[in-house]
Structure 1
Amino acid sequence: MDDMWKVIIADDEMETHHVTRMVLRNYSFEGKKLCFLSAYSGEETLALLHRHPDTAILLLDVVMEKDSAGLDVVRYIRDELNNQLIQIILRTGHSGYAPENTVIAEYGINDYKSKIDLTSQKLFTTITTLLRAYCLSYRYNQLNQTLAGELKKRLLAEIELQKARDHLEQRVEERTCELEAANLLLKQEIAARTRAEEELRKSDEMTRSLLNATSDIAFLMSPDGLILSINETAAKRLDTDIGECSKETLDRFFPPRTIRSLQMKVAQVIRSGHPARFEEMLEDGFFDVGIFPVFGKNQRIEKLAVYAHDITDAKQAAVRIHTLTHDLINAQENERERISRDLHDRVAQDLSTSRIICETLFDSHAGIPEEILSKASRLSRMLQKTIRNIRDIAYDLRPPILDQLGLAKAVFRYCEEFSETEGVPIDFHSIGVDNLNMGLDMEINLYRLIQEALNNIRKHAEATRVRINMVASFPHLLLRITDNGKGFDVEQHRTAQVNRKRMGLRSMEERVALLNGNLDIQSRPGAGTRILIEVPFSGKKNPRPDGNPPAAPLWSS
């Protein structure tokens, strides 16, 4: 409320406005005077009410621009504006238009006065009563508004509380579901771990059984080099107990050189995902070592299985076989040399003498029948042919040119003779071989290898062209023999040789092995054959008898 009580005088008679203002000009209530607002019709009254909604009293004439103007204003105030605070005094000079009982019963007015009966004193009393009622109503309305606000706040609080309760219940329900799911997952994980532990136990038992199923050294290790499990053979070999070596590193059991070798091979297996096999020498012998990757469910290498087979006896046997083979071939070559010498120096000489005697047998005799002379001549020719054959055999057994002029010229001569005999052209090239000090063993073995290769070409290849290259490139001597024959399946041929107990390629392999070299035979049906032999040599050269520097000859037949 402002500092004055607002009172609207709604009457179409100017005199009524003047009298009311005059009578109440000095009136005050609770220290506040009255502020009069005048309206002369129903429409003006409503306009004032819109501009002054805090009006306390409305002195309203019933009949103004029309008979029901005042009652229409009352209805609009109470129903449309919903203003229940304003105190309305309905004043009328025509009581017949609006009977008091009917108006009070049907309209929301606070008092009903006749202009004739409304004296100054009654007006004072009425205004006081209405202002007191207005104050009570105003305070009651304020209290109601406050209560309504509080109720609204409480309602909003209850709504928020209900939302919070619903949200809390939802969260509790969600959390309960999450806990139930987590509990189920935990149970599943526990069951899975139990199964995994059982599988691991069975796997460990199977691993121990597999490790102990072999008499070789066997152990499992992690990719980072920790020993996980070993078998009984390994425990005895490493002088330890099976249970004590778990989680131990390799350096506890092996020397640094062996550890470096194992680490390199382990890295190779992890990088490639494929097993690795190699030979390793320990203090007490030689071992054939195999490292095998063990994959997990995610296809990652989880473990490495290491097997080591003792091949010391096999190595020693191989050395003995190598030595015996070397001695056997040397004895064979020595025997060939002796036979060649005997054939050349004895048998060939004796046959030459016999031929001379046969040709001069009848020189001092006359009258020898022509038939006998013809037979003697035929015998002489047969002796000559036999002498040539014996000399050829002696040359094949041990060509003297090999000792006299060296390997390159001996091979060149042999290629010429082979070409003339078999009608197969041979291109022979040698570089850096002349005057090379390779020893008699290497020379005769290389010569025999070329002989064996050409002999196989003659028997099986049906070739029309052969090429032989012999190159000394320190620290190796390279021998390549190529033909354009019909070729063959190398592996199938090796298998057939084993089944038929033939030598063939095996004898060539043994000769190359005696020279500590490598033999590679490449062939396939219809594509010819290429033989590549690589043997080590010292690189020293024989001094030339003429004192000139050695040259790299090139012969071709």
Structure 2
Amino acid sequence: MKNKAATSIDTVSFKNLRRLYLFALLTIAITVLLSQLLIQYNLNSQRSDSRIINISGKQRMLSQKLTKEILILNFVTDTSKSKQEIIRINEIISLWKFNHNALEKGNDSLGFPKEKSPALTKLFVAIKPNFDTILNAATRLLENKKSHTKEQENQKVVQTILENESIFLSKMNEIVGEYDKQALEKVTLQSKTEYAILLFTLLVLLLEFIFIFKPTNKKVETLIFKLLFSEKKALKLAHDTEIISEIKENSVKELKSLNYAMENTLLYCRVSPDGKLIHIGEKFSKLLQYNPFISDKTFSQVVTPIEKEQIGIDRIIAEKQRSGWQGEINITNRNGESIWLDLSMVPVTIKKEESELLIICFDITERKKAEQEVERLNTENVTDKINQQKVISSKIVENQENEQNRIAREIHDGIGQMLTGLKFSLESINLDDKEKAAQKIEYLKKLSLDIIKGVRTATFNLMPPELSDHGINSALAKLTQELSKLTGKNILFYNKTNFDKRLDSLIEINIYRLTQEAINNAIKYADSSHIIVQLSHSNSILSITIDDNGKGFDIETAEKKRNSESGMGLLFMKERIQYINGRVFFNSIPGEGTRITFNIPI
């Protein structure tokens, strides 16, 4: 009666464990599903946010391009060129107006929402007067240009556009900042939600281990012990009374129940000390694709047909048959598939001088595959990063070497030769011939001025004195002025917000080098004739914008070609701007021009 009660309790316990296990699996599945749905929803939202931020940034470029084209139109006297400028300005106005209406009122085709936060609504209300003023002034200017009338009024209209354009850009920067802030808040919320889901999932797994796997392991151990104990007890009491016979019958029933549970839940088998298979569980035989009614095989022959793997298993059994063994083994089944088993070998004494080995396994193939895949991906990521850093390092060294060679050539070919000429001219002065001596002295004065100019040029290229003495505003003004004289290009600099503060020397030199790189790229690769450098700032951001009217390029294609000049140029700008915690934005339209914006926190 006690045995029946114990069997009933064990059955109820297994049912409860099964219910808990199914409930835990269902909870994890629902958690994963909700997490994926949330991630997909947030990803779709972020695509819309990135598109909005991109269009907002493009609005700033279009407003500046509109101002630039209106300035060009105002000074164009050729009728045919004036008509082309009017057509181009009309196209810019149409695109500018369409983008602004889409941002302000929403657009289904672009995926822009109609409803906005109170902060964005307030910003769009504040920017609308400036937008309307620029739009009306530009339209009136085009009408006057078409009719070739009201030239004085045109000057006032241009002045009105210039006055409102800087205000429009400043307010548009606030709108872009607000969009960026809201997108960041969404990403932060998503991150917190995902962490919460992850913690919940880990908690479920911990509870599953405590209340399911651990009790199940204990019950299996208990059942195995009861099985062996009952078998030993049944053999010892074979000739006892009917009461003993009844106890034996109940033990056999319990044994069958436990054996059924083991056959269908565990990968187990019994093996003799010499490695011969005594019995194999049904689930284990299915995994190994082995016929359990064949009893003349060793355990290693049942597990794998590969001779090398058989030798390794036989060695473990021979060495560990007394002490037992636990570990992971990799085998190949009869279909040539690789299987990983977590194997535990427990020595069991059946009689006084008779023993056998109980082998219990867990199939961990999927876990091993996942670990190998994670290791492979980590190795690939590390390799990619190392290769990328090697390319960057080699390019930096190459640029440094080129710069050193250029400076050496300037000193040798320019300053060096002029100093040599100065030396020879000084040695050739004949004080007795005063007239020729005076002529040579005048020549030496001119040569000295040229040497001083060469030295200043070389030192300016190394470290412009305006940067260390007066700051980034004066340094950029001097840079554009010198490059304009040197290249013959129309390079202009505007300090739109009258920025005159000094920054950290590391930040200033990096801003200077980034601007210098952008201008040189516009001259060297874009075939630009007009380049405009604009400096503006807010309370927390210093913004440098470089616009050119060159041939432009496809940003995605350039970024993919990491070994090309354009791809490496973009990469170096991103690397350098990160040193000062800044951000860089590239906007380019093939055939129309390029805008590069550097935003640096101040």
* Shorter-chain TM-score tier: 0.3 to 0.5
TM-score by length of 1: 0.35
- Determine which structure has the larger strand proportion and give its number: 1
TM-score by length of 2: 0.33
Higher Cα Rg, which structure: 1
